Chains A and B, each alone.
Chain A
Amino acid sequence: MSVPPPKAPPPQVSPTKAPPRTALPPEAPSAAVPPLRVLPMGERALLVELADGAAAAALHAELLRRRAEGELTVREIVPAARTVLLDGLDDPLRLAARLPSWEIPPLPARAEDVLEIPVRYDGPDLADVAALWGVPVRDVARIHSAAEFRVAFCGFAPGFGYLTGLGGVREVPRRATPRTAVPAGSVGLAGPYTGVYPRPSPGGWQLIGSTDAVLWDHARVPAALLTPGARVRFVPEAA
């Protein structure tokens, strides 16, 4: 082979995380550009990595705004835990050069209506979650329904949203042994996320309740009840 051994990865994939904002003057407003890294993803895509989920949410909102205003042509804008994927770009390198200089406003505290999802807090893992949180079982519903959630991203299945909003102290591990069948409408917890199963599937999330809300209906526009960026509250129903 004529390919010599690599000396080091190219600069755009260097392992260093995004630098702290020391370059900014101390009086920089909080709306300043958060650190971001633009990573290569083939000939038509870019993966933008941000410091955290909030920064990814802010970039996601800004990308949607720019696309709606015709400033950006892209087929897919896919937010995730702390990245946003842009796929179907004509010229990824040109956008990669410009992105770091974008001014990205932080997400407004209340941009839209809060979607309410009725939940019966009757899940089979309620006691396990209560134990992990160190609270009485009845408090799980109270704590969970008091939080305001945001759909950080979708994945796993059409209409399956990863919702954040519980706060770090409420993180729980996935179940050691995933269930082979989780019913549609099951409300579960894993890591920092809350999710609702749109249809029956195998799953390893800790199930705390169930809902009759229709998470996915491909005849509806949009087909997914929970779309990235949506704000959500779970409302307790009698079990």
Chain B
Amino acid sequence: MTDRAFAVVRAGALTTVQDEGRPGHAHLGVPRSGALDRPAAALVNRLVGNPPDAAALETTLNGCALRPRCAVTVAVGGAPCPVTVDGRAVAWGAPVRVPAGALLDVGPAVSGVRGYVALGGGIAVEPVLGSRSTDLLSGLGPPPLTEGAILPLGVAPVVHARVDTVPQPGPPRELILRVTPGPRADWFTATALRTLTTRAYRVSSASNRIGLRTEGPPLERAVRGELPSEGMVLGAIQVPPDGSPVVFLADHPTTGGYPVVGVARERDLAAAAQAVPGTVVRFVGAGGWPGLRG
């Protein structure tokens, strides 16, 4: 078999196809989706010579195993992990040639949560609204990987990466999220706004691609009552009735009815994708946060 495809031998806890997502359809109720750790996904694509928007695999905590039906260049990045080809250790964070029929095993994350596996040519599943991303909230795009599934590969790139390895930031020991005021900051007491930016929170194990859930001191509302549904953005920090902040990630709903106290900066969210449950989260007031000097 030399067709451009690979078989899934071990699907892992949750492995999905991700590219840069499908922005521009939020008004139809379509989440943006896409890789949670964008820089890591772009990097592994670059290492195999793919354009940055090629579709790669996003693994969760325990990797996956694949058997390509053709020789293919792969690169594994994001959360650091052992990588083997037919049982022999190969480089993580660097292009690796996998022969046709060999077993590529992406092992459990040593640290961090999401691994990225780019394959030369990218994963060529049928795009939906311009993207091949799996959207776990609305079910658009290909389903998460299952054992035995066969996924097609695109045409291998002729351009090779100019670098063999590149430094990748390690997963954070503490997750720092800089926050600007949200549209409903005034629905919270002054004490709550101070609490959010001075106390430590922890990443909850209930976190997923929709949102990074946190545990910590609840935020007290100054305004009771219901908020009519309003548009949501990536990084919006929504506060449900239990008072625990939820930071919206790529598969977030396009509208929501809980008040948004603040918005985390987009460039901090790649680190949020790698924060394991229990990691300390510090929300740092930025750009107009009440009480901030200068």
* Chain B interface extent, by class: 35 or more
Question: CA of A6 to CA of B236 in the docked complex: distance in angstroms?
Answer: 21
Name the one of A3, A39, A49, A154 contacting B291, with C-beta atoms under 8 angstroms.
Answer: A3
A41 touches B29 (CB 8 A): no
B190 touches A223 (CB 8 A): no
B186 touches A2 (CB 8 A): no
Q: Is A42 an interface residue (CB 8 A)?
A: yes
B138 touches A157 (CB 8 A): yes
Interface positions of B from 178 to 212, Cβ below 8 Å from A: 180-187, 190, 193-194, 197-198
Q: Is B24 an interface residue (CB 8 A)?
A: yes
A157 touches B29 (CB 8 A): yes
A87 touches B185 (CB 8 A): no
Consensus secondary structure, chain A interface: loop
Interface positions of B from 200 to 235, Cβ below 8 Å from A: 222-223, 228-233, 235
Name the one of B28, B229, B233 contacting A159, with C-beta atoms under 8 angstroms.
Answer: B28
B186 touches A155 (CB 8 A): no
Question: CA of A223 to CA of B127 in the docked complex: distance in angstroms?
Answer: 13
Q: Which residues in A have their C-beta under 8 angstroms from that of B184?
A: 13, 39
Known contacts A88-B23, A158-B30; A6/B290 CB under 8 A: yes
B181 touches A78 (CB 8 A): no
Question: CA of A9 to CA of B182 in the docked complex: distance in angstroms?
Answer: 11
A162 touches B229 (CB 8 A): yes
A223 touches B265 (CB 8 A): no
B27 touches A154 (CB 8 A): yes
Q: Is B245 an interface residue (CB 8 A)?
A: no
Interface string of A1-41 (1 = CB under 8 A from B): 11111111110111100000000000000000000000111
* Chain A interface extent, by class: 35 or more
Q: Is B254 an interface residue (CB 8 A)?
A: yes
B254 touches A155 (CB 8 A): yes
Shortest CB-to-CB span from B234 to chain A, Å, is 8
Known contacts A87-B233, A155-B29, A218-B140; A6/B190 CB under 8 A: yes
Known contacts A40-B183, A78-B27; A10/B290 CB under 8 A: yes
A41 touches B255 (CB 8 A): no
Shortest CB-to-CB span from A224 to chain B, Å, is 4
Interface string of A151-188 (1 = CB under 8 A from B): 00111111110100000000000000000000000000
The 7 closest A-B pairs by CB, nearest first: A85-B231, A6-B291, A81-B228, A42-B263, A6-B290, A155-B255, A39-B183
Q: Which residues in A have their C-beta under 8 angstroms from that of B263?
A: 40-43, 45
Q: Which residues in B have their C-beta under 8 angstroms from that of A80?
A: 228-231, 255
Interface string of A72-89 (1 = CB under 8 A from B): 000111111111110110
B253 touches A45 (CB 8 A): no
